[in-house]
């Protein structure tokens, strides 16, 4: 994702916070990316190794043990978030147990950071696979990957047909057959789900969220959002905001 196309997300993640702990909103964005299988965003978060992140709380005076504690917290939260989005409990905790045991035996800070990146990507990859487990054709899997990677753009059936090298009419029939939704319905649902996460996990205005998710206008965004959730974006934020 180029900076000029995806600056909103990067600015949000890298903004400076005068806090003695990791900024809460970016942390929520990180777990949101994991549980939705957004491997592109997870990789962006992981570009900075765990041991180089600023603002982590001090859980131990020993640097290695302190990082291990934070690693364990990440493992538990990643498992919980993935379970909430459909990952079976056994698989979620098998992954966390495996990496926690590996981290326990680690003898260097860099080893812990490497394990952290591997674990988070494994969770994200698992969730990415899970969201497509009912999709059987390569063409529709490719469409879904494209949709999730380009939610900040206007995505059309014509563009997806070009990506898959199929006729627009044939792709539309195939997509409906395999997902149970039209292409436009699927795209809209993905964007509204992302908007719900952004309303809860950030302070961005509905206007900014609508623009960044490439809705043609805020009024259209509000109309689609209300139809899907039964609430306006503002009402949804008030009802679900984490304090």
Tokens encoding 172: 């539309």
Judge whether residue 234 has pLDDT over 80. yes
Domains and CATH numbers, the chain: 3-131 (no CATH), 138-240 (1.10.10.60)
- Tracing tokens 């001090």 back to the chain, one arrives at 58
Give the per-residue pLDDT at 8: 41
Confidence class of residue 242 from pLDDT cuts 50, 70 and 90? Answer: low
Judge whether residue 64 has pLDDT over 50. yes
Contact 237, 199 (CB under 8 A): yes
Bin 19: left if φ > 0, else alpha if -120 < ψ < 50, else beta: beta
The model's pTM: 0.58
Average pLDDT over residues 120-128: 93
Confidence class of residue 15 from pLDDT cuts 50, 70 and 90? Answer: very low
Confidence class of residue 164 from pLDDT cuts 50, 70 and 90? Answer: very high
Give the per-residue pLDDT at 176: 93
| Nearest residue to 75 (alpha-carbon basis) of 134, 123, 130 | 123
Average pLDDT over residues 223-232: 95
């Amino acid at each position: 994702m180029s900076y000029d196309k995806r600056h909103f997300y990067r600015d949000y993640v890298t903004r400076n916070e005068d806090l003695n702990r990791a900024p809460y909103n970016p942390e929520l964005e990180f777990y949101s990316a994991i549980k939705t299988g957004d491997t592109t965003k997870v990789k962006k978060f992981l570009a900075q190794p765990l041991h180089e992140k600023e603002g982590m709380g001090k859980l131990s005076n020993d640097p290695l043990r302190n990082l291990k504690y934070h690693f364990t917290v990440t493992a538990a939260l990643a498992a919980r978030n993935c379970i909430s989005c459909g990952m079976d409990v056994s698989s979620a905790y098998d992954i966390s147990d495996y990496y926690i045991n590996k981290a326990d035996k680690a003898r260097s800070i860099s080893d812990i950071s490497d394990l952290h990146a591997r674990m988070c990507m494994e969770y994200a990859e698992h969730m990415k696979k899970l969201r497509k487990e009912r999709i059987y054709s390569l063409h529709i899997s490719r469409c879904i990957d494209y949709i999730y990677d380009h939610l900040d753009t206007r995505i059309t059936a014509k563009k997806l047909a070009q990506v898959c090298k199929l006729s627009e009419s044939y792709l539309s029939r195939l997509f409906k057959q395999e997902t149970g939704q039209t292409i436009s319905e699927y795209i809209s649902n993905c964007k509204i789900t992302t908007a719900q996460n952004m309303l809860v996990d950030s302070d961005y205005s509905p206007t900014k969220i609508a623009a960044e998710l490439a809705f043609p206008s805020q009024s259209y965004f509000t109309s689609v959002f209300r139809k899907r959730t039964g609430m306006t974006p503002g009402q949804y934020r008030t009802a679900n905001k984490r304090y």
